[in-house]
Structure 1
Amino acid sequence: MSEITPELVRHLGVLARIQLSDEEVERLTGQLDVIVDNIAKVSEVATPEVEATSHPIPMSNIFRPDVVGDQLTPAEVLQNAPDAADGRFRVTAILGEEQ
């Protein structure tokens, strides 16, 4: 029994703001129906005893120590700035005067 109908595909296209031709609706109806059927099959075999996994191989992150390195002075940071004022970068307003 098919859960995915052409009307549903058209509705999903409207929600996604995607204009679909009749050929695309027909093709997507079949493809989405196969996807839903496969998800149903996986749901049938998924049991509480089977632990969910996000990756098949155990992984661990290797972090480096967070050490402060050499820092630039404010003058060094601003030396190549096109415009600076009061120790800060000066940029043009983008939101207008409502700020």
Structure 2
Amino acid sequence: CHQFDPVLKQLAQQYGFSVFPYTLDGQGDTAFPEALPVPPDVMQTFFPNIPVATPTTFLVNVNTLEALPLLQGATDAASFMARMDTVLQMYGEEKGTK
């Protein structure tokens, strides 16, 4: 997380998306010092069929609270945005929109 969080924070500021950081160890970091301890219901919602790993990034539809897994592990900005684009395209096709 310490490697990836600054990348995520910079992208959020650049593109205007919100980040809601949770922490497994109860501590934030330099990029997200306000991270909250992850509640059990969030763990069940976000990790029902995938292993718990950090960092794990999800895209959440704020209207439906549907969680879309983006990636696990650290990556660079270009790879993160490419993955977000792929997930949004797949989600749009699934919902019948483009």
* TM-score for the superposition, normalised by structure 2: 0.24
More strand by share: 2
Normalized per residue, the structure richer in helix is 1
Larger Rg over CA atoms: 1
Normalization by structure 1: what TM-score? Answer: 0.24
